[in-house]
């Protein structure tokens, strides 16, 4: 039996809100706009979407909103792509609950961080992913040591890869040396680039996917970059990639959600505001994102 594939360009979708005084923080999820965004990403060549990730502000949603966001993505994408639902939770019982809900609603796969509010040890990390994987959907574990303070090292991933249904890792350490280390120590585990500003380097070293932020802004161009890199067309890939990297670096910064939403606004899509704890960009940050996006757009012939 072949291993389920969660590779390709899967977009960690940003979530649009509309003003509503009765909603949390005065912002209601705009499900129609979200569905239209998911459809646009698929129509522009992306393989799939990833609702309820950090970029999707899952931790600012009510339980009802969180499930409806995932359902909206699943119903919108249908058979035209894959939907990899974020099931992050403080403990294994919460993460498994969200995995069970995602399975009931028809998700194609799961993305899961280690415990999100607790610096778990090796045994606790393994137990966490065992609980999520027991639901039966293919699981992409998510290494984000910056936010979780838990590093899924290549050695630990070699153990995690032995869990049935764990098929991939979203690697967000920023250390491109990890790609080969993981492939050596956990050869059955697909490595998915999780940081936009090292995606070309990761793909050239053997990553098979890009779980991406800035393709919310540049989906077709991002798919082209991915295809060029996977085909080994380095000169063409570099020419496309280098002018985009200044914008892509915002994907690894604290204000990445606000920056990507501003990028969407700048290309005529709707990014809009964020719910707390995320506030608006400072004036300096707004200016810098705008400048970095301007360079990217000029290189793409959009400006």
* Range 8-233: architecture per CATH: Alpha-Beta Barrel (3.20)
DSSP-based helix, strand, coil % in the chain, nearest 5: 50, 15, 35
Tokens at residue 200, please?
Answer: 């070309």
> 93-96 — which CB contacts under 8 Å span 24+ positions?
93/131, 95/128, 95/131, 95/132, 96/131, 96/132, 96/134, 96/135
Residue of 31, 142, 241, 261 with catalytic role: 142
Q: Is the separation of the CB atoms in 151 and 173 below 8 Å? A: yes
Domain ranges across the chain:
8-233
Closest residue by Cα to residue 84 from 167, 187, 25: 167
Integer angstrom CA distances of residue 246 from 113, 119, 253, 292:
27, 32, 12, 6
Residue-by-residue pLDDT tens, the chain, 303 positions = 456 799 999 999 999 999 999 999 999 999 999 999 999 999 999 999 999 999 999 999 999 999 999 999 999 999 999 999 999 999 999 999 999 999 999 999 999 999 999 999 999 999 999 999 999 999 999 999 988 899 999 999 999 999 999 999 999 999 999 999 999 999 999 999 999 999 999 999 999 999 999 999 999 999 999 999 999 999 999 999 999 999 999 999 999 999 999 999 999 999 999 999 999 999 999 999 999 999 999 999 875
Q: Is 142 an annotated catalytic residue?
A: yes
Residue of 31, 34, 58, 170 with catalytic role: 170
């Amino acid at each position: 039996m072949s291993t389920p594939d969660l590779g390709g360009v899967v977009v960690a979708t940003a979530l649009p809100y509309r003003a509503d005084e009765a909603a949390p923080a005065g912002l209601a999820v705009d499900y129609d706009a979200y569905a239209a965004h998911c459809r646009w990403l698929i129509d522009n060549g992306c393989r799939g979407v990833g609702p309820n990730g950090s970029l999707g502000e899952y931790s600012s949603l009510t339980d009802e909103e969180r499930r409806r966001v995932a359902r909206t993505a699943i119903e919108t994408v249908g058979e035209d792509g894959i939907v990899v639902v974020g099931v992050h939770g403080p403990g294994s019982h919460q993460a498994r609950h969200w995995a069970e809900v995602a399975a009931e609603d028809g998700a194609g796969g799961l993305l899961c961080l280690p415990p999100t509010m607790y610096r778990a040890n090796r045994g606790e990390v393994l137990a966490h992913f065992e609980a999520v994987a027991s639901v039966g959907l293919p699981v992409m574990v998510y290494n984000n040591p910056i936010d979780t303070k838990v590093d899924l090292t290549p050695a630990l991933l070699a153990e995690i890869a032995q869990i049935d249904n764990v098929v991939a890792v979203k690697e967000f350490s920023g250390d491109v040396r990890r790609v080969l280390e993981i492939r050596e120590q956990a050869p059955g585990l697909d490595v998915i680039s999780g940081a936009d500003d090292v995606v070309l380097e990761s793909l050239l070293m053997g990553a098979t996917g890009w779980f991406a932020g800035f393709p919310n802004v540049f989906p077709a161009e991002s798919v082209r970059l991915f295809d060029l890199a996977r085909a080994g067309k380095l000169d063409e890939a570099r020419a496309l990639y280098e002018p985009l990297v200044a914008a892509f670096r915002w994907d690894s910064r604290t204000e990445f959600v606000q920056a990507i939403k501003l990028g969407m606004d700048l290309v005529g899509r709707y990014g809009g505001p964020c719910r707390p704890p995320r506030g608006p960009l400072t004036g300096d940050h707004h200016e810098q994102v705008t400048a970095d996006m301007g360079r990217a757009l000029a290189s793409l012939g959009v400006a």
